[in-house]
Structure 1
Amino acid sequence: MRKKVTKAIFPVAGMGTRFLPATKSVPKEIMTLVDRPLVQYAIDEAREAGIKEFIFVTSRGKGALEDYFDNAPQLEQELRRKGKDELLEILKSTNMDSGEIAYMRQHKPLGLGHAVWCARRLIANEPFAVILPDDVIAAEKSCLAQMVDAFEETQSNIVAAMEVPDHMTSSYGILDIKEDMGSIVSTNGMVEKPVAGTAPSNLAVIGRYILTPTVLQMLNKKKTGAGGEIQLTDAIDDARLKGEEVFGYRFKGERFDCGSKAGFLQATVAFALARDDLRDDLWRYLNDVVHAEKAAQ
């Protein structure tokens, strides 16, 4: 029987130190990209892919993240009283029904694999998705929805992948390609952050995964890898060594690394330019900046 993916894990326990001092009091995941928190983009992507249960792996200081998904009856009442129906609908779209969302604590920062392992009891014996909200993907059809379609075909572990320049391969998990079939790539495994010049390809894993329960069994071993952390890529490769297939999926869309300040700013500009209510004013401003820069040269 073909299994469906209905659960997703969102590892959001990181401290967001690259965005200090903002993240001293605001979890990075609810910093706004245009007018929506980063995590809202991830939730919307998951919903489009058919995800019904949302599991957040958090840490101390993430209370504002939990509050964000809660109902705000006073605010809703005020918007209703003022007849601001459009804003009311936007607000309601951020609410999560009771039982739809769960929170798990990662008490020690032991790596992405450990964060996923923390949610093991809520996954049980089902395939599941992992979404890293730092990776925001602009796509006509959401990246995870594309991957769910591919999972329907393969019923195997799938990682989102994109080509990166050779000099950047040491910053990613890199796929060792067995057979390139276009959108789907079969693999001989993956190498986490290979030393420069040793990468088996330039096809890098980014923050979207659909995984089988076997990966959780591998994580139970709590084996440490690169950086002394429990690496998710190692557990995926161990599942492959046990006989499961691992595929890379070349998604259609543009990925922004919102874990970096430059990537966050690039995403802000790109998403704002895609908005009818913001495009013209922003485009005029950007043109003025470019012309001023050229004149100064």
Structure 2
Amino acid sequence: MGKAKIQKAIIPAAGLGTRMLPITKSMPKEMLPVGTKPVIHYVVEEAIKAGIDDILIITGKGKRAIEDYFDRNFELEYYLRERGKERELKLVREISEMVDIYYVRQKKPLGLGDAILHAEKHVNGEPFAVLLGDDIIMSERPGIGQLVEVYDRFKAPVLGVETVEWADVEKYGIVDVENIENGLYLVRDLVEKPKKEEAPSNVAIVGRYVLTPEVFDALREVKPDKRGEIQLTDALRILVKGGASMYARIIEGRRYDVGTPEGWLKANMELGRVFGLVG
């Protein structure tokens, strides 16, 4: 019998957003506006378009605005209804009815790997998707859906990747890969933020994963890095070195790293044109 279809997604959104200070001192980076919607709205929409109907968001201190955004706001709905603002009323109701969303809090900022560990009970032994809450991917086919297709084919973990400039490899988890076919690779090794001269390739992980429950045991083996954080890349490396099959898929589409000022401004300019908000 094959493994279960991907029905659950984890969105880690507990980071402090230090690259976007000072605005993230009082606003979660995932709630920064891109056009007329916050960043995390695009991420949730991507998961829904891929057929995922159960989402767990990992939050932290100061992230209550995320929960409020996806919740009902009866006072606002009453205000809009009384004033005949039916279009706006429909919009806010649709947000609260998008999908089943659950929350768990990461009490200390101990890295992406630690955030994923908080999802173990919710995942309940099933394969699951991970979408980072500060990456927007615009494509005809949802980015995470492209990875789910590969998972359905091989029933093994799949990493979303793209090729980056060699000067930028120090910013990413980098994979050593063997080409299978156009845009699809077998993962041979992984390294977190290597120096340019030590990087095995310029194929970088870009915030989308389909993982299997075996990753949780691997995460428990990972030793904290020099910042005291548990890195997901290190756990994935444990799996590969232990003989597990793992694949990487170049995601077709346009990615915006809205966790940086440059990426956020670029997303607003380019998506603003798409939605007719800027000239």
Q: TM-score range by the shorter chain?
A: over 0.9
Bigger drift between 101-110 and 203-212 goes to: 101-110
Q: CA deviation at 1:222?
A: 4.3
Partner residue, 1:87: 88
Amino acid in the other structure paired with 1:75: L
Alignment CA distance shift 1:222-1:121 (3 Å): farther
Pairs within 5 Å for 1:104-143: 104-143=104-143
Partner residue, 2:219: 219
Alpha-carbon distance in 2 for matches of 1:176, 1:95 = 41
Give the unaligned 5+ runs of structure 2: none
SS in 1 for 2:198: coil
Bigger drift between 175-184 and 156-165 goes to: 175-184
Amino acid in the other structure paired with 1:5: I
- Say whether the 8 Å CA contact 1:225–1:234 is kept in structure 2: no
Q: CA deviation at 1:97?
A: 7.3
SS in 2 for 1:4: coil
Note the alpha carbon deviations across 1:100-154, whole angstroms, 9 max, x for none. Answer: 2221121121111011001111112110111112111111111011111121111
Partner residue, 1:288: none
Give the unaligned 5+ runs of structure 1: 284-297
Q: CA deviation at 1:226?
A: 6.2
- Say whether the 8 Å CA contact 1:192–1:226 is kept in structure 2: no
SS in 2 for 1:174: strand
Partner residue, 1:37: 38
Partner residue, 1:54: 55
Percent of aligned pairs with the same amino acid: 38
Partner residue, 2:74: 73
Q: CA deviation at 1:196?
A: 1.8
Q: CA deviation at 1:221?
A: 2.5
Alpha-carbon distance in 1 for matches of 2:122, 2:218 = 16
Alignment CA distance shift 1:97-1:270 (3 Å): closer
- Say whether the 8 Å CA contact 1:189–1:246 is kept in structure 2: no
Alignment CA distance shift 1:97-1:256 (3 Å): closer
Alpha-carbon RMSD across the aligned residues, in angstroms, is 1.6
Amino acid in the other structure paired with 2:257: D
TM-score for both structures, normalised by structure 2 = 0.94
The runs of 4+ residues in structure 1 deviating greater than 3 Å are 225-228
- Say whether the 8 Å CA contact 2:222–2:234 is kept in structure 1: no
- Say whether the 8 Å CA contact 2:187–2:240 is kept in structure 1: no
Amino acid in the other structure paired with 1:147: L
- Say whether the 8 Å CA contact 1:114–1:222 is kept in structure 2: no
TM-score for both structures, normalised by structure 1 = 0.89
Amino acid in the other structure paired with 1:91: V
Partner residue, 1:291: none
SS in 1 for 2:5: coil
Alignment CA distance shift 1:255-1:159 (3 Å): same
